[in-house]
Chain A
Amino acid sequence: MVSQSLQNQYLSDPDVQLMLKAAAGDQSAFEQLVTRYQDRLVGFFFHLVHDRTAAEDLAQETFLRVYRSRERYEPTARFSTWLFRIAHNLASNQKRGAARRREIPLAAGSDAHNLCPEEQILAEKSALMPTRQIDSREMRDIVRSAIEELSERQKTVVVLHKFEEMSYEEIGEVMGLGVVAVKSLLSRARGKLKEALERFV
């Protein structure tokens, strides 16, 4: 009875309905899902990898995986939860693959926003001079560096909570963790961010 009511709850999610239509062969329904979620997915990956091209490739791969598995789709969660679970698995696999190949780690991107040596020095100087007025670009780089210091799981929790506005429970569903573990990861991450950033506030 409980599971049936949960099932009904998911069926009321309009994106679940679109996915069910896509599973039945409705191409336009799938296109709507891509349009609805592309910015969120690209944003999610971008905050993890700091590389726009890599973020878009990962987002595209996520949609391709969703499309490939559409016929097996069952509405056992909100569509966004299901989608971000796939995205999270993809990011984790990517990181593991990169580690095996001894390539650039997932978190070390190569876009224009990365800190070049001069900017690194500037950021370090900024850290020494907390009262100096720093511009938004500098601030962004400092915040990004602070996030880089987090572990992969902490980073994922932070991005899902801060930018995707997911509750602890949803994050747990996406990452396959219990609420207590999510709470613990997030509080440790926020403690570390406070240590790294409090002199700039």
Chain B
Amino acid sequence: MSANDGSERDAADEESHDPRLTELVAYLDGELEPEQSARLERQFAVDAPLRRYAESLDRTWQLLDTLGDAPASGEFTQRTLASISAMAIPATATSTSPWSVATALRTFPYLKVILWTALGFIACFGGLKFARTQSRGTDTADSRILRELPLYRDLETLNSVRSAEFLRKVAAAVTPDPLKEPRK
């Protein structure tokens, strides 16, 4: 965060322009050089208000201890690790995908030959199967036409008949059991 990111109050008020205060705080934080600390301690010995000011700074700083710690809740670890696992799964999936195709082919040079041979077999088998199905379909159509040939031959006569009931009567008159041999 840069200095410009704060509010107007921040920009105007957040940094100390009091070198004495800065030095006292650095002393209390143990951030002064030993010589500077020694000089300041000599001043404390003769300057009671300065010493009291430093003591007050220190005591108010200690008051922050009342805020205590704020540890993570019991579920935090599990929840966080679950989120990370959820994030890791798609990453793993995408990383394994290129391996299975490109890396496998690089790793096993004969795999390409085997794959092409298998593809050839599959194509031949598929082609044969398709051809056989086509020819069987033609046979079935031809045999049905042959079976129904007498019907086609008499189609003109049959079309002149008024109803199927009439035909049944004719058939009954010709043969004793028309249901057994309806086409004869």
User: A residues within 8 Å of B by Cβ?
Assistant: 27, 30-31, 34-35, 38-39, 41-43, 46-47, 52, 55-56, 59-60, 63-64, 67-68, 88-89, 92, 96, 136, 139-140, 143-144, 147, 150-154, 158, 161-163, 167-168, 175-176, 181, 183-191, 193-194, 196-198, 200-201
The reply on B29 being an interface residue by CB < 8 A is yes
Quote the shortest CB–CB distance from B134 to chain A (angstroms). 55
A-B contact pairs, 17 of them (CB 8 A): A38-B77, A42-B70, A60-B79, A60-B80, A67-B84, A139-B66, A151-B6, A153-B14, A167-B31, A176-B1, A183-B25, A188-B14, A188-B21, A190-B60, A193-B63, A201-B56, A201-B59
Known: A34-B77, A67-B87. A43 touches B71 (CB 8 A): yes
Known: A38-B72, A188-B16. A140 touches B10 (CB 8 A): no
Structural contact, B73 and A187, CB atoms closer than 8 A: no
- Report how far A27 CA is from B85 CA in the complex, Å: 9
- Report how far A161 CA is from B99 CA in the complex, Å: 49
**Interface residue from A136, A140, A153, A183 paired with B6 (Cβ < 8 Å):** A153
Count of B residues near A, CB < 8 Å?
46
Quote the shortest CB–CB distance from B28 to chain A (angstroms). 8
Known: A194-B56, A194-B60. A52 touches B79 (CB 8 A): no
- Report how far A63 CA is from B85 CA in the complex, Å: 12
The 3 closest A-B pairs by CB, nearest first: A188-B16, A46-B70, A151-B10
Extra A-B contacts (20), CB below 8 Å, given A163-B69, A183-B22, A190-B61: A34-B81, A38-B71, A39-B71, A55-B70, A64-B80, A151-B13, A154-B10, A154-B14, A162-B64, A167-B31, A175-B1, A184-B16, A185-B15, A188-B15, A191-B18, A191-B21, A197-B60, A198-B59, A200-B63, A201-B62
- Report how far A150 CA is from B66 CA in the complex, Å: 18
Structural contact, A162 and B61, CB atoms closer than 8 A: yes
- Report how far A155 CA is from B67 CA in the complex, Å: 14
Residues of chain B from 59 to 112 with CB closer than 8 A to chain A in the complex:
59-64, 66-73, 76-77, 79-81, 83-84, 87-88
- Report how far A55 CA is from B72 CA in the complex, Å: 9
Residues of A near B64 (CB, < 8 A) are: 143, 147, 158, 162-163, 193
Structural contact, B67 and A143, CB atoms closer than 8 A: yes
Residues of A near B71 (CB, < 8 A) are: 38-39, 42-43
Known: A183-B26, A184-B15. A139 touches B80 (CB 8 A): no
The reply on B7 being an interface residue by CB < 8 A is yes
- Report how far A8 CA is from B26 CA in the complex, Å: 30
The reply on B9 being an interface residue by CB < 8 A is yes
The reply on B5 being an interface residue by CB < 8 A is yes
- Report how far A186 CA is from B66 CA in the complex, Å: 19
The reply on B170 being an interface residue by CB < 8 A is no
Quote the shortest CB–CB distance from A28 to chain B (angstroms). 10
